[in-house]
Amino acid sequence: MSTAVKEWIGLVARLLTGGVWIVAGAVKLPDPYESVAAVRAYDLLPEAVVPTVGQLLPVVEVVIGLALVLGLLTRGASVVSAVLFVAFIIGIASVWARGMTIDCGCFGGGGTDPDAASKYPWEIARDTALLAASVYLVALPRTRWAVDNLFWAPRPGPDTSPDHAEPDHVEPSDLTHEGER
């Protein structure tokens, strides 16, 4: 696959994943208590850290989303994105395995939802796809239209490095016969 195609795929992955993070965080920012309740409903974290996680998570989501959409510190933002998606997948799978029926709280809300079990496969599939996009960006953070491109010059490919350059002209004196040195 050509570098240009990889960069366009990366742009789509950046915009899609970043956009999801921005929306997910932005809808939770106005009501931090609802976000805390959603984190509490998973019954996975010690109660002492639930309020902090519930209040900080929307802010982190928006910051990660903005970094991805802008293409700023793409690899670092993608690492955090991937870690969060792994945590969310584990959280959803955990409540599903324990027979709990709660709204994931991914886009606000949270608490009891009698139809939640039927939504868990979709939520896990969605987060797995976004995890794959995040991992792609960890591996290949160079994308089109990224702020990162203003700060870091593109790396030369194997065909353009000085060590692999082909000489324009070879002098006969540069050629040696077997055994002559």
What integer is the mean pLDDT of 98-113? 93
pTM: 0.83
Residue 161: its pLDDT value, please?
A: 45
Instruction: Specify the length of the chain in residues.
Output: 181
Q: What is the pLDDT of residues 133-172, one digit of tens each?
A: 999 999 999 999 999 999 987 666 555 444 544 444 545 5
Encoding tokens for residue 100?
């709990």
Residue 158's pLDDT is: 58
